[in-house]
Amino acid sequence: MKYKALDPQIFIQNRKRFVTKMQKNSIAIIVSNDEFPSNGDALHGFKQNTELFWLTGIEQEGSMVILYPDNPDPKYREVLVLVRPQELKEIWDGKRLRANEATAISGMKTIVWADVIDAPLQQWVHLADSIYLDSNENDRKNTLIRTHEYRFIDEMKARYPLHHFLRAARLMKDLRAIKTKEEVAVIQKAIDITEVAFRRLLQFIKPGVHEYEIEAEIYHSFLSQRATGAAYHSIIASGDNARTLHYVNNNNVCKEGELVLMDFGAEYGGYCADLTRTVPVNGKFTKRQKEVYNACLHLHDYAKSILKPGISIAHYTDKVGEEATKQFLKIGLLGKSEVKNEDAENRAYRKYLYHGISHHLGLDVHDLGTRTAPITAGMVFTIEPGIYIKEEKMGVRIENNYWITRTGNQDLMKTMPIKADEIEALMRVSKK
């Protein structure tokens, strides 16, 4: 790993939180992700199951965590399973974790090699009444590929058909949504790395630069600061490309008079940052660009003022929509008749703001968490309103990350330049 070792207390706390939610005399078994094939004999870079990482901090393939708090033998109440290091494998793919190294990362004292786990695991399962298994219950999931966790579910149900099976993901959704202060400290590190990259870009962007050159600057900055890399595929969208929400071609020239929308974030220690800024390619907003930008910033600040414990995402989105309607009337995007005659199921403002305002953030960019129940303290959200104008070939989005507190929220990106004048001033320095 490129990043400095995290405090194992993060994972020790997470396991304690998880086992307190388990039913009496139940066992939880969480397996690692697949190594996905690419083409020929190649594999995609391995990305750990974030549930397993949340419990252990282990990034290595072929891992498993077993939690059985009522095991009669205290030694086996939490077990980390790893692939046994092999000389040939290490010649080709590099060193694998030794038991003492895995303990230092995870805080787990009992390490068992994967090639000998079957017998003891069978004994523990026979003692248990219920089995927690994991699956992907992220609401944004859009793939039906039967990954390792689903194949493992099939295997366990076939081997132990009379056991009672439970959903670990149901527990994870509630637990992972509430970040500990130690987790937020790691998110903050990812954000700090992202800020350095953003400030670098303000000195780099100018007419004639390609979108992919901006992306290259981001990666250079991230890796030079020990980030794992980008938390997601960076969006560098100049001109009309900014109206495409997940634009990833990043191959156009940034032109004089255009805006460039940049949505990117670093991953550090498994945790993600998620920033969006929209800046003028030549360093100076036109009067109309600044008007639209300031309307978007107003929506951002309004959303910040109401994103606090007790409100639901649905109610929050509706309230931001009401404020967007006022702003769009003010800057001439909507007329009073359009608002008066709007479809309640497809509000008039949706023509120019057609995505959600916030999502959970953590180990996944679109992290686990409620989309229906009231927001509670400890959650981390993005706030990212946008304004997309087809007729003007313009898109503006502004995004910061917020930790929900008991009375409101804390802006984790508060030192990041966000006002139009701030951005212009920093870009002006680079032009001298």
Do 141 and 194 lie in a common domain?
no
Higher pLDDT, 345 or 299: 299
CATH code (residue 168): 3.40.350.10
Task: Tell me which of 153, 175, 197 is where a domain ends.
Answer: 175
Q: Please tell me the distance from the alpha carbon of residue 165 to that of residue 173, in angstroms, as a whole number.
A: 17
Q: What is the pLDDT of residues 196-243, one digit of tens each?
A: 999 999 999 999 999 999 999 999 999 999 999 999 999 999 999 999
Q: Answer yes or no: is pLDDT of 364 > 60.
A: yes
Collapsed DSSP state (helix, strand, coil) of residue 405 = coil
In this structure, are 200 and 286 located in the same domain? yes
Of 148, 175, 202, the residue that ends a domain is: 175
φ, ψ (nearest 5 deg) of residue 419: -75, 150
Q: Is 2 part of any domain?
A: no
Taking residue 424's Cβ as centre, other Cβ atoms within 10 Å add up to: 17
Q: Which two tokens stand for residue 30?
A: 């969480």
Residue 430 has pLDDT above 80, yes or no: no
Question: What is the pLDDT confidence band of residue 294, given thresholds at 50, 70 and 90?
Answer: very high
Q: Is the pLDDT of residue 45 over 70?
A: yes
Q: What is the reported pLDDT for 431? A: 57
Q: Number of folded domains in the chain?
A: 2
164-167 and 130-133: which strand pairing? parallel
Asked if residue 269 belongs to a domain, the reply is yes
- Rounded CA-CA distance 303/315 in Å is 11
Do 130 and 250 share a domain, yes or no?
no
427 belongs to a structural domain: yes
Report pLDDT digits (tens) over 321-347. 999 999 999 999 999 999 999 998 899
Helix or strand or coil: residue 245? coil
Least confident of 120-124, 202-206, 360-364, 425-429: 425-429
* Residue 43: pLDDT over 70: yes
Decide: pTM greater than 0.75.
yes
The per-residue pLDDT for range 267-288, each reduced to its tens digit, is 999 999 999 999 999 999 999 9
Residues 341 and 241 in one domain: yes
Could you tell me the residue range of the domain that residue 40 belongs to? 9-175
Judge whether 1 lies within some domain: no
- Packed helices 9-19 and 168-177: angle between N→C axes, nearest 10 degrees: 130
State whether 104 and 194 are in the same domain: no
Query: Could you say which of 123, 143, 175 is where a domain stops?
Result: 175
> How many angstroms separate the first and last alpha carbons of the chain?
39
Domain-embedded: residue 4: no
CATH number, domain containing residue 276: 3.90.230.10
pLDDT at 143: 81
| pLDDT tens-digit readout, 4-27 | 999 999 999 999 999 999 999 999
- 373 and 278 belong to one structural domain: yes
DSSP secondary structure string for all residues of 261-298: EEEE-EEETTEE--EEEEEETTS---HHHHHHHHHHHH
Averaged pLDDT for residues 128-141: 91
Asked whether residue 432 carries a pLDDT value surpassing 70, the answer given is: no
Residues 169 and 185 in one domain: no
pLDDT for 429 equals: 76
Residues 33, 52 within the same domain: yes
Q: What is the pLDDT of residues 300-323, one digit of tens each?
A: 999 999 999 999 999 999 999 999
Record the tokens describing residue 71, joined without a space.
């095991």
Whether residue 159 sits in one domain with residue 201: no
**CB of 121 closer than 8 Å to CB of 152:** no
Do 325 and 186 share a domain, yes or no? Answer: yes
| Residues 6+ positions from 116 with CB-CB distance below 8 Å | none
231 and 84 in a single domain? The answer is: no
Q: Which two tokens stand for residue 384?
A: 């990212």
Angle ∠(323,385,276) on CA atoms, nearest 5: 155
Q: 251-288 as b/e, with b when 16 or more CB fall inside 10 Å?
A: ebebeeebbbbbbbbbbbbbbbbbbbbbbbbbbebeee
Beta strands 229-230 and 266-268 are antiparallel
CA distance 4 to 10: 14
Beta bridge partners of 27: 131
**64 neighbors 84 (Cβ within 8 angstroms):** no
**Same domain, residue pair 416 and 400:** yes
Lowest mean pLDDT segment, chosen from 95-104, 132-141, 183-192, 263-272: 132-141
Residue 140 confidence class, pLDDT cut points 50, 70, 90: confident
Residue 1 pLDDT grade (very low, low, confident, very high; cuts 50, 70, 90): confident
